[in-house]
């Protein structure tokens, strides 16, 4: 956990000043906070990150500001800022849970990570913007890539969540992509840890 906190602190010094449009964490490995611009996101969602970045916190962060921004129309940088904040929080909480399964906070971190996934899942059906929908799918695909610490153990749990997005989608290419991501997530259960 100290390594992850050090990466976050390094991200504070090296991150861009505003979150990028689109999903920027693909291929970022453990440097995910740098890729998403954590300092700008902490400034935008201070109460949220106060809970997320506290390894001893066990209470739920307030997701309403992120939900409001992710579901904003017309789509602008605030949608992507919310998606990146959710991604950072998901990867942080999932990492803590999966690397410390006997820890007293394991279940709490797992549940909080699961609650975070519900925010982009809901936004997918509310905001009919192709670029934002692609970015949300990029996030789910990134979870399945195994690129982030701890995701190889938990990615398979999201297969049915991603599969359910197909019913919310009318674009055939995106429907195929949803099926592919869902298959890859389900296959992660068979992948060695």
Alpha-carbon span 40 to 87, nearest angstrom: 14
Strands (E), the chain: none
What is the token pair recorded at 98?
Answer: 């999966």
> Does the pLDDT at position 33 exceed 70?
no
Per the CB < 8 A criterion, the answer to whether 58 and 2 are in contact is no
**pTM metric for this prediction:** 0.84
Q: What is the pLDDT of residues 145-160, one digit of tens each?
A: 888 888 877 888 899 9
Enter the tokens of residue 183.
């298959």
The pLDDT value recorded for residue 13 is 44
Q: Is the pLDDT of residue 114 over 70?
A: yes
CA–CA dist 49, 55 (Å, integer): 11
Q: Report the pLDDT averaged over residues 51-68.
A: 91
86 pLDDT tier (thresholds 50, 70, 90) = very high
Interval 85-92 mean pLDDT: 94
Distance (Å, rounded) from C-alpha 2 to C-alpha 186? 31
Contact 181, 120 (CB under 8 A): no
């Amino acid at each position: 956990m100290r390594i992850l906190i050090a990466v976050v602190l390094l991200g504070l010094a090296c991150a861009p000043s505003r979150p990028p449009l689109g999903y920027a964490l693909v291929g970022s490995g453990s440097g995910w906070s740098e890729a998403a611009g954590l300092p700008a996101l902490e400034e935008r969602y201070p109460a949220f990150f106060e809970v997320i970045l506290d390894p001893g916190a066990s209470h739920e962060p307030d997701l309403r500001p992120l939900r409001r921004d992710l579901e904003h129309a017309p789509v602008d940088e605030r949608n992507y800022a919310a998606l990146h904040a959710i991604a950072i929080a998901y990867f942080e909480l999932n990492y803590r849970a999966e690397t410390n399964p006997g820890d007293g906070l394991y279940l709490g971190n797992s549940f909080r990570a699961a609650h975070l996934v519900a925010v982009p899942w809901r936004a997918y059906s509310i905001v009919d913007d192709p670029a934002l929908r692609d970015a949300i799918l990029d996030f789910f695909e990134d979870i399945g890539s195994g690129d982030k610490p701890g995701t190889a153990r938990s990615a398979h749990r999201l297969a049915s969540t991603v599969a359910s997005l197909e019913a919310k989608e009318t674009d055939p290419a995106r429907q195929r992509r949803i099926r592919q991501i869902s298959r890859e997530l389900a296959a992660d259960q068979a992948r060695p840890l």
